Chain A
Amino acid sequence: MQSQPAATREMSYAEAIRDALDLAMAADHTVILMGEDIGVYGGAFQVTGDLIHKYGPDRVMDTPIAELGGAGVAVGAALTGLKPIYEFQFSDFATLAMEQIVNQAAKLRYMLGGAVCVPVVFRMPAGSGTGAAAQHSQSLEAWFGHVPGLKVVQPSTPHDAKGLLLAALADPDPVLIFEHKLLYKLRGPVTEGHFTIPIGTAEVRRAGRDVTIVATSIMVHKSLEAADILAAEGVEVEVIDLRSIRPIDRGAVLASVRKTGRLICVHEAVKTLGIGAEISAMVAESDAFDYLDAPILRLGGAETPIPYNPLLEAAVVPQVHDILRAVRDLVAGRA
């Protein structure tokens, strides 16, 4: 962190994001907000709230239901010197804007030999658990993590949401910030004032000697809950909050695996071809391989769209009991 005033204030994840937006807009008149219903309505998840009243419709712009157009305007604004923050109502709709994100924002600085940069931020409400069904519940972060030229972060706490958003604004390149919808109401202490959390740094949320869990977003909390239960059984789990999936904090993951010898990757996104696969391969290719004392396990979403039925919706993504079973199997040599 560049500067960290000691004072903290308890607020929700959504409030922490609004706090970051407010701070950035107050400090820098080139920062603008764009998105559907972010003005008077306050945003689909009430994140932008009343910012339109403070900064006016020129800086808090409602855009039509046309993500490709909205994202295109944002990329263009970034090319011409503004710092736009474009909010997708649901990150699922970023599929409509892939051309602008993947082919334009991610490539222009490279293709123009560094003559321009694209300091755009895309806010991506993501994840299941809200009963919003197959087209409004996906976790598509790995899609974007696959594209050189983009940065992708997944804050799991209110403090990180603010610090990573401010870091994204300070970054000269396009950054996508995936916000799990179930976390918006999560409360926690947030440092007051301006600070950033460097993109590409993981955080050890709990230290342990027996098993490393590398988790993202809401799975950090499920892993911590499992770790509490396992500690009572004498199994000490180290929980790493990856926070940034592009770039990945390789050093933090490898150091932990060297310590524990056992690795489980947990994410909500579909397991196949996911971030867990990337982490696993990264370890297997490194010197930490020689410290592995068990197979690497991955927990991720099932091979299905997110169902509407709430029981099925919960069943297709990793839950605490899945994590418990995986750790117990791993420690007992049953995996």
Chain B
Amino acid sequence: MPVEVIMPKVDMDMATGRIARWHVADGGRVEKNAALFDIETDKATMEVEAPAAGRLHHIRAATGEDIPVGQPVAWLYADGEPLGPAPALAPRAPASVAPSAADPAPATAPSPGRVRTAPVPVTPVPVAPDPVAPDPVAPDRTEPAPTRPAVRATPLARRLARERALDLGTVKGSSLRGRVTRSDVEAALLRTPPPSASPAEGELALTRAGNGDRTPILLLHGFAADSAGWAMLEGLLPPGHPVLKLDLPAHGRSPRQPVASFADLAQCARRAIDGLGDGPLHLVGHSLGGAVAIALADTRPRRVASLTLIAPAGLGPEIDAAVLAGIARASRVESLAPWLRRLAADPDLITDAYARAAMAARQNLTLREAQSAMAADLFPDGTQGFDLTAALHRIRAPTRIAWGRDDAIIPWRHALRAPGRVGLHLFESTGHLPHIERPHEIAMLVMEMTQLRAASD
């Protein structure tokens, strides 16, 4: 039996992967553990090693194509094994119990970069005809590809797309019958900023996902994270709400200039939401992003429909600044992973692959230096140098705080300084990353906040 090569899960919140490059051509021979192909995720490019020695056949994944995690991408034939027909992707019973693709890599054998050989139940997907064994009697495929259905778009959306060289077919319409309007085009343009934009200047990076005409949800990540960190929560958020993800200064795709004070940080975020028009937003902020959310709700009360604070900073002096500094300065996986593992209640949640992906997103020295400077300025002497308790008391928007009882970075007891009208949700066996450790429960909280708002409208 040939050995199946699957799309591995190399990143905790990875649902699909893209093969950037095959190191071995179809029919080529490869040694076990030799580089087989490169995977590109949102965060990094990683080498995947061959699970066995042999000849590579039946490559099913073209480079650049999004492949669901766990789906076979090729097969390896042992030396002397006769070449068979391309294995079907039809549903089949798993030959043995295999870890679900959604599980983190087993803690006993943490080799997430390696390819699992056990068959994984996968959803059958239509695949291209096997290039190895073309059907000789198949008619030549010269008939034109079915044309894409005409894009429904307003004249203004068409004009803007034309002027900005944007393919309207790639834009999802939020209006009636999927009609693309100006706001959809502008959101799409935001998602794909011109490559010439210098990361050192300009506005904070904002990613927009999802469609709908309901109040948008704005996600504010924590220190040393970025908007990619919301991936697990994002897919669980209630439909109909556009999701906006802001990269804080010196984080993600935002300008890599550090901010010297929390006030400056809040001002940057305020400018960013001012640039979004004047409609209300549901704010969801984690850690430092939670503090930013409080500041926004305090200074832009009419823009904030609700506030979901996940282990927010700014409610007390204690913080494990050593972890923040360690993460900010780490230049290699070996120095990053131990600090990352402090974030979750279950350190095994932070797999090697996760740490590698996180490091890949932190390759830029300017970014690391800017974050180190921010850590020193915002958390001097291991202390939270800003206090938003008074601001939280002033806020009238519905507010909830979610915290892990095992948070090792900011003690959950800071939540007790919140006024009585703020709801508190404490999660057992949860650390500083409730939105990653308990995404379903956090998504439920956010959904309840959006419904509260709808009821009061």
Contacts and interface: CB of A to CB of B under 8 A. Distances in A.
Nearest to A290: B159
A253 to B, nearest CB: 16
Contacts of B157: 293
- Band of interface residues on B: 10 to 19
Contacts of B158: 290
Nearest to B302: A234
B176 A261 contact: no
Contacts of B175: 294, 333-334
- Band of interface residues on A: 10 to 19
B154 interface: yes
A293 B213 contact: no
A294 B152 CA distance: 11
Nearest to A289: B155
Contacts of A291: 155-156, 159
Interface string A288-308: 011111100000000000000
Interface string B160-177: 000000000000001110
A294 B181 CA distance: 7
B182 interface: yes
A23 interface: no
Interface in B74-132: none
A334 B213 CA distance: 9
Contacts of B159: 290-291
B239 interface: no
A7 interface: no
B182 A293 contact: yes
A293 B155 CA distance: 6
Contacts of A332: 213
Given A332-B213, A333-B174, A333-B176, A234 B278 contact: yes
B181 A333 contact: yes
Contacts of B182: 261, 293
A292 B155 contact: yes
Contacts of B278: 234
Interface string B175-197: 11001011000000000000000
B235 interface: no
A335 interface: yes
Contacts of B156: 261, 290-293
Interface string B275-288: 00011000000000
Interface in A316-335: 332-335
A294 B179 CA distance: 9
B406 to A, nearest CB: 43
Nearest to A332: B213
B155 A333 contact: no
5 contacts: A234-B278, A292-B155, A294-B154, A333-B176, A334-B213
What are the 10 tightest A-B residue pairs by CB atom distance, in nearest-first order?
A: A333-B175, A293-B156, A290-B159, A292-B155, A293-B154, A293-B182, A290-B155, A332-B213, A293-B181, A261-B156
Given A333-B174, A333-B213, A334-B176, 15 more contacts: A290-B156, A291-B155, A291-B159, A292-B154, A292-B155, A292-B156, A293-B155, A293-B156, A293-B157, A293-B182, A294-B154, A294-B175, A294-B181, A333-B175, A333-B179
